Amino acid sequence: MIDRSDALALDAADPLARWRDEFVIPDPDLIYLDGNSLGRTPKRTVEALHRVIDEWSGDLITSWWEHDWLHLALTVGDELAPLLGAGPGEVAVHESTTVGIFQQVNVALDLVPGRRVIAIDDADFPTDRYAVEGIARLRGGEIRHGLDDLAGVDVVLRSLVDYRTAEVADLVGETARASDAGATTVWDLSHAAGVLELNLPDAGVELAVGCTYKFLNGGPGAPAFVYVSRSIQHEVTQPIWGWFAQSDQFAMERPFDPRSGIGRMLNGTPPVLGLTAAREGIRVTVEAGITAVAAKARLITGFCIDLADEFGLATDTPRDPARRGGHVAVRHPDARHLHEALVDHNVVVDYRDPDVLRFGLSPLTTSFADVFDAMSALARLVDRA
Amino acid sequence: MIDRSDALALDAADPLARWRDEFVIPDPDLIYLDGNSLGRTPKRTVEALHRVIDEWSGDLITSWWEHDWLHLALTVGDELAPLLGAGPGEVAVHESTTVGIFQQVNVALDLVPGRRVIAIDDADFPTDRYAVEGIARLRGGEIRHGLDDLAGVDVVLRSLVDYRTAEVADLVGETARASDAGATTVWDLSHAAGVLELNLPDAGVELAVGCTYKFLNGGPGAPAFVYVSRSIQHEVTQPIWGWFAQSDQFAMERPFDPRSGIGRMLNGTPPVLGLTAAREGIRVTVEAGITAVAAKARLITGFCIDLADEFGLATDTPRDPARRGGHVAVRHPDARHLHEALVDHNVVVDYRDPDVLRFGLSPLTTSFADVFDAMSALARLVDRA
C-alpha cells in the first residue's frame, strides 16, 4: 500500500524540490499536471520581460545592437544546445514549431536530389502529419503511412516521445535503421526537450525540431527550436529565405547568400518578447541540470504508474523508465467527464479525445504529493462513477 | 524662412499631439525618428503584457479558453482589419513577415494551376527578394526582375511604400495592370500599415502581408499580418499546414481539413506574448483614427521636405503628399557618418547603405519640433563637414 507519507518522503529526498520556488505559483493548492502542454512561469521570466520592455522603450532601435537582439535567436539556441547534447552553432530558436517542422522536412528532402517520399506514423501528432501532407502537395511528394517498412523512403518525420502514451522511441536505433534504408530522420522533440537527457550528435541525429513551451517553460506559443548537425550544415538549404539568414544582412543590394552556419535556418525578424521568455525557461532547466531533471522524471512517472496500478487505473505508458517521457497516460472510457470533475478537485490534467487523461509531471514544479493527491482524487471519482 | 516657432505652431494645432502621452518615453529629450524601423512602446502594451503574464502564471493552460488565446491570431487580425479597409475574417496576425510573404506568394502561385513566373523589382526590400528566390528554387519557378513588362508573369510581389524613398505605388492602378496581364499581386504593406489610409477590397487587392512593429508600434519582432480577400478565401491553399488551421483542431485523428475562412492561413501555436503586444499597438492607431494619422503623416513629411529644401539637403521622397509614406529619405554621400554624428545630438534616424538617411516620422509620437530640431542639427553637421 502506497500512502501519502510515501509521497512526502520522496519529496523530502527530492534534490530538485527547491526549484519550485523559482516559479510564480499564485495558487499553491492548485495541482497543475499539464506542464507538458504549457509549463509554468519562471519568476526570472517575469523579470526578464520587464527588462526587455525597458530596453524597447528606452533604447529603441539601438537595442538590436546594444542588447544584442540581433543574435538572440542563435544566442538562445546556444543556451538550449546542451539540453540536446549539441554544441554552439547547432541550434536556433525562432518561429512556431509548425514552421520549424516545415523547414526541417524540406531541408531533409533537399539533402539528396530527387527525394520525394516522406514516411510518418498515422498516430503521430497532428501538426506533424498536416505539415507533411502540405509539403507533399507543395512539392509533388509522396507520403508513406507507417514506419515499419522504410524501403524507398527518403525522409522520416517522427516524434521521439509519443504525445499520448509518453513512449520514447529508440533514438539511436531508429535513426540508424532509417539511415540504413537511405532516409534522413527529422526528430520532433516537442515532448522530449527539457525532460529527457539527449545527445543528438552521438545518436547520429542530423535534423531535429521541438517546442519550448512545454517542459522548457518558455511561455504560451513560445518560439520553436531547430537543430542542424554541424556535420551537414554546409549542405543545408531551407525553404523560407529571409534577411536574418543573409550572410551580410545590411548590405541590401545583393542576391540571397546564406550565412555559413545554423544562421541560415533563420527567416525574418525574430520575436524578441517570445525569445526573451523562452530563454529564461531554458536557463532554468539548464541550471537545474538535465541529468537531475531526467532522473526525477523517471522517478515521478514511475510513482504515478505505481499509483495507477494500486488504484486499478489503466495506463499504457511504458513501465521501463528508460522508455517513457515526462507524462503518464491513463485510459478510461469516461475520460472526458473525469477531466472536468478533477478540475472541481483543483486538479488540472490534460484530456485527449477520446479516452486519455495525461498527467504531465513537469519535474521542476511537480511534487510527489501532487501526484499522490491527483491520482487519489481520480481513484475516488472512478469508484464513484 | 521656416523657423522653430512655425514648428511649435504646427504642434499646437496638431489634433494628434496628445497621443504622445500614450507612449512610454523615458528620455523626453531624445528625438526618435526611427519609428519606421521600430515603433515606440505604448503604455497600454506594458499593462497588457503584465496582464498576460498573470494569465499565464495564474490560469495556465485554461487561458487558451478563458482568455481566448485560442483565437488571438484572428481576434487581433479583426482589430487590425479596419486599418486596411478590410472586414472581419480577412486578416490574421502570426509568425514573421518573411513567413507571411512565403505563404502569400505560394498562395498566389497556387490560385491557378501551372503558375510559376514571379516578378519583383530588384530594388524591393531584401527579405521580399530573398523569399521569392527561395520559392522559385523550391518549386522550380522563374523570377522576372522588374515590373515594367508583366507579359507572362503569374505573380507580382511588391512593396506599397518603397523602404528607401517612401514613394507609394499606385495600389489601384498597379493591381489592375497586373490583373489585366493575368497576374495576382501580393502587396507588402510593411511600410504602409498604420500610416496610410488603405482600402484593400476597393482597390481589388486579393493578397497582402505586412509587419506590425513599425508604424503599428507592435514591439520588436512582433508578428506579421496576412490579408486574404474574402472573395478568394474558399480557393486558397497555403503551404505550411499546422494544427491551428485545422477545421476541428482537437479532433486529432483526421487528415488535414482546413478551416473555411482566414483561419486556414494559420500554422502552429500562436505567439501569445508577441500577439498581446501587437494588439495594443494596433489598437492605439485604430483609436487615434487612421484618417487623422494619415493626414498628419502627409503634413509632417511635407514639413520635413520643406526643411530639406530650405537647408539645401537632397531628398528623393515624392513631393506629392498622396505619393509618399511616413518617412523622408535624405541622400548624402557622408550619410554613414552623419547618422553617427546625429546620435551625439540626441537624434536617432535610420541609415541605409550607402547614402540614405531615413527620417521616420511616426505620426503618433513625432512632433513638428522634433522634425525641425533634427533637420537643423543635420544642416549644421553638413555645413560643418
What's the CATH number of domain B4-32+290-384, 3.30.700.30, 1.10.3720.10, 3.90.1150.10, 3.40.50.10070?
3.90.1150.10
C-beta atoms of B221 and A353 within 8 A:
no
CATH topology of domain B46-288: Aspartate Aminotransferase; domain 2 (3.40.640)
pLDDT band at A201 (very low <50, low <70, confident <90, very high): very high
Cα–Cα distance, A253 to B129 (Å, whole number): 10
**Grid coordinates representing B188?**
507588402
Q: How many helices (H) and strands (E) does chain B have?
A: 11, 15
Instruction: Tell me if chain B has a CB within 8 Å of the CB of A111.
Output: no
Compute the average pLDDT of residues A236-253: 90
Report how far residue B181's alpha carbon sits from residue B6's, in angstroms, rounded to the nearest whole number: 48
Q: What is the spatial distance between Cα A168 and Cα A322, in angstroms, rounded to a whole number? A: 8
Determine the average pLDDT of the residues in B212-217: 98
The verdict on pTM exceeding 0.80 is: yes
- Residue A46's contacts (CB-CB under 8 Å, 6 or more residues apart) are A24, B53, B57
Q: pLDDT digit string (tens) for B283-299?
A: 999 999 999 999 999 99
Interface of B with A in 14-33 (CB under 8 A): 23-27, 32
Of B40, B115, B164, B214, catalytic: B214
Interface membership of B267 toward A (CB under 8 Å): yes
Which of the four pLDDT bands, split at 50, 70 and 90, describes residue B254? confident
Q: How far apart are CA A154 and CA B320, in angstroms?
A: 57
> In which band, very low, low, confident or very high, does the pLDDT at A251 lie, cut at 50, 70 and 90?
confident
Long-range CB pairs of B136-139 (<8 Å, 24+ gap) are B137/A237, B138/A106, B138/A138, B138/A139, B138/A239, B139/A138, B139/A139, B139/B106, B139/B109
Chain B residue with the nearest C-alpha to that of A72: B221
pLDDT in tens, A166-192: 999 999 999 999 999 999 999 999 999
Interface check for B184 against chain A (CB to CB < 8 A): the answer is no
Q: Is A273 an 8 Å CB contact of chain B?
A: yes
CB contact under 8 A, A40 and B57: yes
Q: Which residues contact A118 (CB under 8 A, 6 or more apart)?
A: A105, A109, A132, A135, A136, A141, A142, A143, A144, A153, A154, A155, A156, A157
**Statement: A4-32+289-384 belongs to CATH 3.50.50.60:** no
- Side chain identity at residue B300, one-letter code: I
pLDDT of residue B385: 58
Query: Using CB atoms and an 8 Å cut-off, which of residues 54-73 of chain A contact chain B?
Result: 54, 56-58, 60-64, 69
Which residues, including other chains, have CB under 8 Å from residue A113's CB and lie 6 or more apart? none
Q: Which residues of B touch A49 (CB under 8 A)?
A: 49, 53, 273
> Which of A24, A252, A350 is facing B353, going by the closest CB pair?
A252
- Is A385's pLDDT higher than 70? no
Mean pLDDT of A250-271: 92
Q: Measured between alpha carbons, how far is A119 from A174 in angstroms, rounded to an integer?
A: 13
Q: Which of B45, B99, B220 sits opposite A99 (nearest CB)?
A: B99
Closest CA to B122 of A253, A248, A258, A249: A253
Does B358 participate in catalysis according to the annotation? yes
Q: Sheet containing A184-188: which strands, arranged edge to edge?
A: A91-94, A224-228, A207-210, A184-188, A155-159, A117-120, A142-145
A346 touches chain B (CB under 8 A): no
Compute the residue count for chain A: 385
Scanning the structure block, which residue is given the C-alpha cell 509518453? A166
| 8 Å CB contact of B98 and A240 | yes
Are A316 and A165 in contact by the 8 Å Cβ rule? The answer is yes
Q: Compute the distance between CA of residue A238 and CA of residue A244 in angstroms, rounded to an integer.
A: 13
What span, in angstroms and rounded, lies between the C-alpha atoms of A356 and A340?
A: 13
* Residue ranges covered by each domain of chain A: 4-32+289-384, 46-288
Q: Which residue of B has its CA nearest to A123?
A: B253
A31 pairs with which residues across the strands?
A347
Quick check: A267 and B25 CB within 8 A? no
Of A46, A98, A242, the CB nearest to B127: A242
In angstroms, the CA A101 to CA B241 distance is 10
Burial class (CB in 10 A: 0-12, 13-18, 19+), B231: exposed
Whether residues A243 and B130 touch (CB distance < 8 A) is answered with yes
- Interchain CB contact of A218 with B (< 8 Å): no
User: How many Å apart are CA B20 and CA B30, to the nearest integer?
Assistant: 13
> Looking at chain B from residue 117 to 156, which residues have their Cβ under 8 Å from any Cβ of chain A?
125-127, 129-131, 133-135, 137-139
Q: Name the grid cell of B302.
A: 511635407
B188 is catalytic: yes
- The letter for the amino acid at A125 is F
Indicate if the pLDDT at residue B337 is higher than 60.
yes
Give the whole-angstrom CA distance, residue B339 versus residue B356.
9
Q: How many helices (H) and strands (E) does chain A have?
A: 11, 15
In whole angstroms, give the CA distance from residue B40 to residue A37: 33
